[in-house]
Structure 1
Amino acid sequence: MTRMLFPLIAAIHVGAMLSLSASAQMADGDRGILPIDSEGLLEITGIEVDVEAESAEAARYAGWQIAQREGFAKLWARNKGRPQSQAPRLNDATLNSMVSAIVIENEQIGPTRYRATLGVLFDRARAGSLVGQSSVGRRSPPMLLIPLTVSGGTVTSVETRNPWQRAWAQFRTSESQIDYVRPSGLGVDPLLVNAAVTRRPDARWWRGVADYYQAANILIAEVTLHRAYPGGPARARFVARAGRDREVLGRFEMTAPDSEALPAMMERAVARMDEIYERAFRRGDLRGDRALIIRRARPVVEEVAEAPLSMYRVRLISTDGAALSDGLDGLRSVPGIEAVVENSLAIGGVSTVTITYRGDVDALRRALYARGWNAAYAGGTLTMSRRNDGPPPSAPVTQIELPPPTPQGQ
């Protein structure tokens, strides 16, 4: 069942509540599910309440207050490893200051009665010291998570909305040791992390993608879904993969009796797959891929800190594979270049890449010239070619002023 977030009147920080609700909504269009930002939160779920009061509103409010008390006791017991009965008893005003949101998993409201299954989100900074947890401990490097769905002979990732991506978007990562980078499906996501590229072994391609998402490795969470008939029982096989070579870290199967139970099955599968990735990380089997990590020179703050961020198309002319590799590495080493996405590569020809650069285009040309490359700029396109000890080619729009040569004998 899809979870819903509601503010607790006079008890919940409304700002935090609104940010969670907004991030949980699906974006406009046919694709795109924004992931929930759960950093800094501690979650307890599955709290059942049954309250009677003078009115439905009073019963609901009382039920939420009970959920806060039981949620804190469960959180304390979970982190301390002790019985809930030994948890400190805090007054409602103190609990109100620590609760960020109430998660409604299921509820039934009558004229004077309120029955529900609730979850509570606690602010880590406020509640962490009281429950003995201020952080999740050692975390992995950033991992780009690609949810892959195989159903009816079709393989999809974030190209269209699907239950598997939604389950990962709604997964609260604050309790996980894995630092997930979850694409939303908006913008260039369907071009860079679609189902087809997950079988692309090219390290240079993945290096550009990892650089764009600021990730150190790739995780492919794969589900193969079999339905008996539309809307009927479903059987799913889940495989947790990691890295460019799609190494299998674990696999399992789950079933759902009908389509209505499918989202709940996906939520449980995400939690189980997260456990697989966590175990691999603790064993040392899941780490950053050095081939994907780009080491940049320290940026010159005086030149690029206040400069606007722009995107440029770059035509890279290379004579062989070594020249192509040097050109791409030269681009990535320029201070102010924040992302290099490879569109098409041609050894001994013209390759096309897109860069995100914070700085003036003249400064970019000078930096490339210092690294041994001519750079002509025109119409938003930068053309790079290896310099052969000569001056840079003239550019129709922007030119670099070089000092005149010193006459011999002076």
Structure 2
Amino acid sequence: MSQAISLQHALRRPAILAIMLAAFCALGVAVWAQVGGERGIAPVASTSDIQVSGVEVDVHADTGTEAREKAWVEAQRKAWERLDGPELSDSQIEALVSAIVIERERLGPKRYIATLGVVFDRQRASRYLGAQGEATRSAPMLLLPVTVSAGTQMIYEQRNPWQRAWAEYQAGQSRIDYVRPAGAGGDSLLLTYGQTGRRSRTWWRNALDQFGAADVLVPIANLRYTYPGGPVEGTFTARFGPDDDFLGSFEMTAASPAELPAMLDKAVVRFNRLFETALANGTLKPDPTLNIGTPELSPALQRLLEFGRSVRAQDQAAATAEPTTESGDAITAAPIRTPPPEGSVALYTVQVATPDASAFDTAVSSVRGTPGVRNTGIRSTAIGGTSVMTVSYSGTIAQLADALRARGFTVSQGSNALAISR
């Protein structure tokens, strides 16, 4: 009997090993599949040349080849007119052209219909056009193009038309310094739609450092397919920064799915204008809270702290001064500490340790409920780090520190600022 049981165990072992091996193989295939496959779309190399897109031509000739040659000459002339260039001959204009981009074409036996793009060499054309378009560029901005369709959100999980439109955009003339990931390999695991909802500066700094970017741009394309083969309605929203700040939005419609790539190309151009407008207005600048290497989280807070230090230094100098009588004898007087007038409030900076979202909510509620606190404001939110509040308090900073200690906080006092934790 015991020999039979031993024989059964011996027969089971190879089967168990085979099952375990199959499981490990399947796991390996699953892990590879998360980052493998045809995902990445490499962005085109950006140049500083002057490109004019969407030039439409329709030319008849004795042969299709001759019609195409005449059409290209006509496209170059039309593109030069769009740039408001001076009057030049066709041969002179042709000498300034570095490339012809075929956006769409139909070639017949004696006819050529196309939509072309004409690229002019900036060095050669600048003597006729001047230094137009030269302006200060933005800091490097990580681009996360989000596609929302059929209830799903996607960035680089798989190739999609919105990603391709941004990858093929010629950004050399833009004032925005786009950092466009290819989306291959680990990009699809790191740069997901969930990342756009994170507020932790540590998470964002780790992601931005991998791509050499200073901040993030999130162009969102919400696509609605009305019916199979029918129009595609798009709502486009521009957002910016780790706090997902709103910059603008617009709507466009493609007559059919075949027209969708052309609509997305036009949407990319409109997004670029939105971003450039925000840059000109001073809105599109790197968030100072992403620079985790410095203790000051923003220039405004830095100025506030410096002002507090200067006022305190003046008070200390006035309090420690030793006035003298007419006979020259020194008069020793105790420093006078004058409390704020009744009903007046002072603005203080409070840094709060917020290891998680629950700690953040609890700390904000406790500070707002502290006796004497008239108003509070959130300067920056850093879940997993240190958030910053501004507190309007009817009293001195020492009194505010005592009031917060009574609420159960551990308080460290600085110049016109407090650091609290639990």
Structure 1 position 293, deviation (Å): 4.6
Aligned position for 2:305: none
AA at the equivalent of 2:188: P
Match of 1:100 among 98, 101, 113: 98
Equivalent residues in 2 for 1:212-251, closer than 5 Å:
212-251=210-249
| Matched-pair contact (CA < 8 Å) for 1:33–1:166 | yes
| Matched-pair contact (CA < 8 Å) for 1:238–1:251 | yes
| Matched-pair contact (CA < 8 Å) for 1:98–1:122 | yes
Equivalent residues in 2 for 1:150-189, closer than 5 Å:
150-189=148-187
Structure 1 position 91, deviation (Å): 4.9
Structure 1 position 53, deviation (Å): 3.3
TM-score normalized with structure 1 length? 0.59
Structure 1 position 44, deviation (Å): 1.2
Q: Does 1:262 align with 2:260?
A: yes
Structure 1 residues 70-115: Cα deviation after superposition (integer angstroms, max 9, x where no partner) = 22232234xxxxxxxxx231452x4344322212233232223323
What stretches of structure 1 of length at least 5 have no aligned partner? 1-27, 78-86, 297-320, 322-345, 348-410
Structure 1 position 257, deviation (Å): 2.4
Structure 1 residues 259-305: Cα deviation after superposition (integer angstroms, max 9, x where no partner) = 11111221121111211111111110110223335879xxxxxxxxx
Match of 1:121 among 119, 122, 131: 119
SS at match of 1:37: coil
Aligned position for 1:62: 70
Distance in 2 (CA, whole Å) between partners of 1:130 and 1:286 is: 32
AA at the equivalent of 2:179: V
| Matched-pair contact (CA < 8 Å) for 2:224–2:232 | yes
Over 3 Å counting, the alpha-carbon distance change for 1:101 and 1:295 in structure 2 is farther
Distance in 1 (CA, whole Å) between partners of 2:93 and 2:185 is: 40
Aligned position for 2:55: 47
Aligned position for 2:392: none
SS at match of 2:44: coil
| Matched-pair contact (CA < 8 Å) for 1:233–1:255 | yes
SS at match of 1:174: coil
Distance in 2 (CA, whole Å) between partners of 1:103 and 1:239 is: 29
| Matched-pair contact (CA < 8 Å) for 1:142–1:217 | yes
Structure 1 position 46, deviation (Å): 2.8
AA at the equivalent of 1:72: W
Instruction: Identify the structure with the greater helix proportion.
Output: 2
Percentage of identical aligned residues: 45
Structure 1 residues 181-239: Cα deviation after superposition (integer angstroms, max 9, x where no partner) = 11111132112212121111111121121111111110111122222233322222211
Aligned position for 2:80: 72
Structure 1 residues 44-66: Cα deviation after superposition (integer angstroms, max 9, x where no partner) = 12323333334222221222122
| Matched-pair contact (CA < 8 Å) for 1:218–1:243 | yes
Distance in 2 (CA, whole Å) between partners of 1:206 and 1:170 is: 26
AA at the equivalent of 2:187: D
Two-structure CA RMSD over aligned residues (Å): 2.7
| Matched-pair contact (CA < 8 Å) for 1:281–1:287 | yes
Distance in 2 (CA, whole Å) between partners of 1:57 and 1:179 is: 40
Matched pairs, number:
264
Equivalent residues in 2 for 1:266-277, closer than 5 Å:
266-277=264-275
SS at match of 1:89: coil
Q: Does 1:38 align with 2:49?
A: no
Name segments (4+ residues, structure 1) moved above 6 Å: none
Aligned position for 1:198: 196
Distance in 2 (CA, whole Å) between partners of 1:162 and 1:113 is: 34
Structure 1 position 140, deviation (Å): 0.8
AA at the equivalent of 1:260: A
Distance in 2 (CA, whole Å) between partners of 1:155 and 1:239 is: 14
| Matched-pair contact (CA < 8 Å) for 1:107–1:114 | yes
Distance in 2 (CA, whole Å) between partners of 1:143 and 1:185 is: 16
| Matched-pair contact (CA < 8 Å) for 2:73–2:90 | no
Distance in 1 (CA, whole Å) between partners of 2:110 and 2:221 is: 44
Over 3 Å counting, the alpha-carbon distance change for 1:259 and 1:91 in structure 2 is closer
Structure 1 position 29, deviation (Å): 4.2
What stretches of structure 2 of length at least 5 have no aligned partner? 1-35, 295-352, 354-383, 386-422
Distance in 2 (CA, whole Å) between partners of 1:96 and 1:294 is: 52
SS at match of 1:175: coil
SS at match of 1:141: coil
Distance in 1 (CA, whole Å) between partners of 2:64 and 2:220 is: 44
AA at the equivalent of 1:265: M
SS at match of 2:165: helix
Q: In terms of mean alpha carbon deviation, does 253-262 or 277-286 score higher?
A: 253-262
Structure 1 position 157, deviation (Å): 0.3
Match of 2:109 among 106, 111, 114: 111
| Matched-pair contact (CA < 8 Å) for 2:156–2:191 | yes
Aligned position for 1:375: none
Aligned position for 2:330: none
SS at match of 1:288: coil
TM-score normalized with structure 2 length? 0.58
